[in-house]
Homo-oligomer: A and B are copies of this chain.
C-alpha cells in the first residue's frame, strides 16, 4: 500500500508537566520515523507544562524524523478538542501524600514495597484518584469521544476502570511496562544458549494474564519456539541466587531501592507452574505480608523510601529545566516503552501487540467479567482489541479474582459516594486483613484524614 511519509497525529497529554513519562515520550517521538505529532500539554501546574513544552521543542530539534510540535493547552477541553490520542499521566496528590500512604500503615506494622496498587496505600490512592480520572473520562466523552486514550496513572486497574465508568464508549487502555523484564530474561537465555546475540526482548512474545502488577505468563515464544521449558530451567538455576542483568550497585540509590533480583518471581513461578511476570516489588503486595513482604532482605527486593522519591523527583525536575533552557542536550533515543508503537499502529502503521489493561470481556476466562485485567491486545487501524489469553491456574485465579472483585467494588463505591462500603473493602485486602477490626479502622481513619484534602465531600467521612 502507498502510504503518506508521516502519519499526522494530535496528542493531548493530560498531566503534561509529568517528569517521568513525558520526557520519555518526547525522546521516543524524536527517534520515531512514522509520525508527525502535535502534542498539547495540559497540567494543573501550568509552569510544569510550560517547562515541558520548552523541553519538547529541544527534543524536536534533534528529531530523526518529522519534528513534533509542542504547545501548552489552557484547559482540559482545549487540550482534548480534535485530539486523536489522549495520554493521561497524572500524580494523584503529591509525594507527601504518598509518604503518608506508606508511613501510616508502617506504623501499624504493615510494610509496603511501593504502595500504589493494592494494600492500604493503593486503596487510599485510588480513593483520591478515581474522581480525577472520572472527571477526565467525562471530559473525553464530551470533547474527544473518538480519541484513543492511554492511561499511565496508578493504580492502573482501578483508574482505567474509572475512565470506562465515566464514559463507557471510551477507546482507552492502561499501559504498563512491567513485563519487559521477563522478555529480556528470555532473550538473555536464548543468547547465552547461542553464544551470540541472536535475539532481543522485542523478539519474545509472551501470553500475559492477570491484573496489573500481578501478572503471569503461561506461554513464551521466540520465533515460534516454545521457550517455557528453557525458562523453567532458568528459574531453577537462579531461584536461590536471583538474577540480574547487571549487578546491584550498593552505592547507587536507585539501584538499591528498585532492586529486583526476580527471586519472588522465580518462587511464584515454581509455586504456580506458570511464570510470574510483574516486578517483585509489586507482586509481593498482593499476598499476605508473611509470605514475602515482611522480609525484603531475605528475598532481595528493594523498598522505595518516599524521601528518595522526593530527591529523585527534584533531580528529574532539574534535568528537565536544563533540557528546557538548553543547558543540557536531548538525545533522540528509543525507550523500552510501547506507547509510541501503539500510537503508530492505531494511526495506521500496521499491527502492534502489547500487554495492556482493559475491561475483561472474557480474555481471561476465569477472572470476573468487567474487571480490568491485563493481557495482550492488538493495536491497529481497527483500534485496541483484547486478545484471548485463556485461563489462570485455579489457585492463582482465586487469588487474583479476589483482588479484581475488590478493585471493581472500590471503584463502584467511590463513584457512588458510598462511604460506608469502603472500610469493609479496605479491611479485606490481604495486607490489612490480619489486623483486628478496631486497629484497621483506626489506620483507615488516619489515612483518610491525611488525604482528605483530595477527597470528594462524600468520602471524607469514610472512616
State the A residues within 8 Å of B (CB).
1-3, 7, 194, 196, 198-200, 203, 205-207, 219, 221-226, 267, 271-273, 287-291, 346-349, 351, 353, 358, 360-363, 365, 369, 376-378, 380-383, 385-389, 393-399, 401-402, 405-406, 408-409, 412-413, 420-421, 424-425, 427-428, 430, 433-437
A409 near B394 with CB under 8 A, answer: yes
Which chain B residue shows the least CB distance to A377?
B388
B409 near A421 with CB under 8 A, answer: no
Q: Which single member of B223, B346, B434 contacts A291 (CB below 8 Å)?
A: B434
**Separation of A219 and B267 alpha carbons in the complex (Å):** 44
**Separation of A271 and B394 alpha carbons in the complex (Å):** 29
**Chain A at the B interface: mostly helix, strand, loop or mixed?**
mixed
Shortest CB-to-CB span from A354 to chain B, Å, is 12
Q: Which residues of B contact A412 (CB under 8 A)?
A: 394
**Separation of A361 and B363 alpha carbons in the complex (Å):** 7
Q: Which single member of B203, B267, B395 contacts A409 (CB below 8 Å)?
A: B395
**Separation of A374 and B196 alpha carbons in the complex (Å):** 43
Which chain B residue shows the least CB distance to A268?
B437
A205 near B437 with CB under 8 A, answer: no
A348 near B223 with CB under 8 A, answer: yes
**Separation of A361 and B373 alpha carbons in the complex (Å):** 15
A397 near B389 with CB under 8 A, answer: no
**Separation of A348 and B273 alpha carbons in the complex (Å):** 24
Enumerate 5 A-B pairs (CB-CB under 8 Å) in ascending A order: A288-B433, A361-B362, A394-B412, A401-B405, A430-B433
Q: Which single member of B223, B272, B291, B437 contacts A1 (CB below 8 Å)?
A: B223
A394 near B413 with CB under 8 A, answer: yes
| Contact A424:B363 (CB < 8 A) given known A222-B1, A347-B224 | no
Shortest CB-to-CB span from A11 to chain B, Å, is 15
B291 near A436 with CB under 8 A, answer: yes
| Contact A395:B382 (CB < 8 A) given known A361-B365, A388-B387 | no
Q: Which single member of B381, B395, B436 contacts A222 (CB below 8 Å)?
A: B381
Which chain B residue shows the least CB distance to A441?
B271
Q: Which single member of B1, B223, B351, B387 contacts A386 (CB below 8 Å)?
A: B387
Which chain B residue shows the least CB distance to A395?
B424
A405 near B398 with CB under 8 A, answer: yes
Give the 7 A-B residue pairs with the shortest CB-CB distance, closest first.
Answer: A224-B348, A362-B362, A221-B381, A395-B424, A394-B409, A1-B203, A290-B434
B398 near A425 with CB under 8 A, answer: yes
Q: Which residues of B contact A273 (CB under 8 A)?
A: 420
Shortest CB-to-CB span from A213 to chain B, Å, is 18
**Separation of A207 and B386 alpha carbons in the complex (Å):** 13
Which chain B residue shows the least CB distance to A432?
B288
- In this complex, the member of A196, A287, A380, A381 whose beta carbon has the largest number of chain B beta carbons within 10 angstroms is A381
Q: Which single member of B291, B402, B420 contacts A402 (CB below 8 Å)?
A: B402
| Contact A398:B428 (CB < 8 A) given known A288-B433, A290-B434 | yes
Q: Which single member of B221, B267, B365, B405 contacts A382 (CB below 8 Å)?
A: B221
